[in-house]
Amino acid sequence: MVSYLLHNIAGLVAAVSDNGKPLRGSLQGKLEVIRDAFLLIQDGKIAGFGNKMQMPVKRDHYMAIDMQQSLLMPAFVDPHTHLVFAGSREEEFLMRLQGASYLDILSKGYGIHQTVINTENASFDELLTLAKTRLRNLERYGTIGIEMKSGYGLQTDTELKQLRVIKTLKNQSSHPIRSTYLAAHAIPALFKYNREKYLQQIIEETLPQVAEEGLADFVDVFCEKDVFSVEECERILERGAALGLKPKLHTDEFYSIGGVSLAARVNAVSADHMITPVAEEVKKLQDTDTVAVILPGTSFSMAHTDKQYARRLIDAGIPLAIGTDYNPGTCMCYSQQIMMELSVLLFGLTIYEAINAVTVNASFAAGLDDITGMIKVGYRADLLSMKVKTVEEIPYTWGINKVNRIFLSGEMIEFDV
């Protein structure tokens, strides 16, 4: 493997954790940017970095790469994606533009249920080919670490098919990937009048098989009014934890029904969406390491009117991460750059807070904090460079892909910009 000396870097965004913990409160907005920097890559890992005056004198065994005054930073981590599915939902998109709500669409058999049918009918190889293409698209926009969910199978066979696709991607790709079992995404039409039977299928049939085959790192639930209750979610999460799967939640996207308290109670790795939580519940997360994952693209496309929800989470001392929520229903967007830009332009974050949210804190939310998402000696050299000189240019020149080069575990891939 080639060892690289990256030099002539306009600014190195040296994102780091809080002594092995996610960043919260005022620390979320602190970020060191080393001007006129260098970085060493050896054996696919970060071997050293600093200001150019600290560059090692003996460097013959490194291939020198002139970064041409670009900005270098940890590659993005996306802690919330639904990457494995078939089909699309343009009709639903138009229904929402005409005023239909997400939950109304779901109750009429559209929404997730359409994707479930398409995914059930797709072969393993078709799903794998689609997922590989989407993975390359994420990479093109600077994302290397990725969490991928099932949830478009619902029934056992298709859920397992999705998870086996993700496991294949893990084995065939250089990307650090984490997998999440999300059968509790909706009630299948077949079980519309027998919820308990579906819960038993998840708890007694599918979860044990997922654990036995090593198909998932996490178990997730959609804790929301008219979807799954707090009690139902707790049963699933507890069973998953007993089988070695760490808990995650979709919660408080439309209504606050107690999902945040449940996240605190089970010490969830992340609580995602988090648009409508009440302050008393949010306080319960302050003594946990649960990361709140906001999904600005979904908030934007669903026309949520509360623009301060992310700001309140940071001000309450909750670690905040950002994900794309890439999915066929509410956010067909691969770009963590755009998510950062939306979080700054619409949702009240500073650019430093947003950068930490797509790198350091996103790595914690994805369960990848021990290997990627930071500038730290010994971590994977998962890096991106942008054709900008300062971090302030990221939201200033918004809506375009600024990534011109990535390093995937030390392997350089260049793009035209």
**143 Cβ partners below 8 Å, 6+ apart?**
75, 76, 77, 78, 324, 334, 336
CATH of domain 4-75+372-414: 2.30.40.10
Q: What is the percentage of the chain residues whose pLDDT exceeds 70? A: 99
Which pLDDT score, from 0 to 100, does residue 59 have?
78
Here the tokens at position 85 are 């599915």
Which pLDDT score, from 0 to 100, does residue 94 have?
77
Is residue 391 over pLDDT 90?
A: yes
Indicate the length of the chain as a whole number.
Answer: 417
pLDDT for 51-67, tens place per residue? 999 998 777 789 999 99
Which pLDDT score, from 0 to 100, does residue 97 have?
76
The type of residue at 259 is G
Here the tokens at position 244 are 């070695």
> Among 103-107, 140-144, 284-288, 324-328, whose mean pLDDT is lowest?
103-107
pLDDT for 4-47, tens place per residue? 999 999 999 999 999 999 999 999 999 999 999 999 999 999 99
Is residue 107 over pLDDT 80?
A: no
The one-character DSSP state at 290 is P
Which pLDDT score, from 0 to 100, does residue 417 have?
67
pLDDT for 199-240, tens place per residue? 999 999 999 999 999 999 999 999 999 999 999 999 999 999
Here the tokens at position 304 are 């949520």
Average pLDDT over residues 145-156: 96
CB distance 269 to 367 below 8 Å: yes
Rounded alpha-carbon distances, angstroms, from residue 415 to 368, 387, 404: 25, 11, 5
Closest to 52 in 3D by CA, of 2, 12, 14, 3: 12
* Boundaries of every domain in the chain: 4-75+372-414, 76-365
pTM: 0.96
Q: For residues 58 and 55, what is the distance between their CA atoms, to the nearest angstrom?
A: 9
76-365: same fold as 4-75+372-414? no
Element (H, E) at 326: none
CB distance 78 to 359 below 8 Å: no
CATH of domain 76-365: 3.20.20.140
Give the chain's mean pLDDT.
95
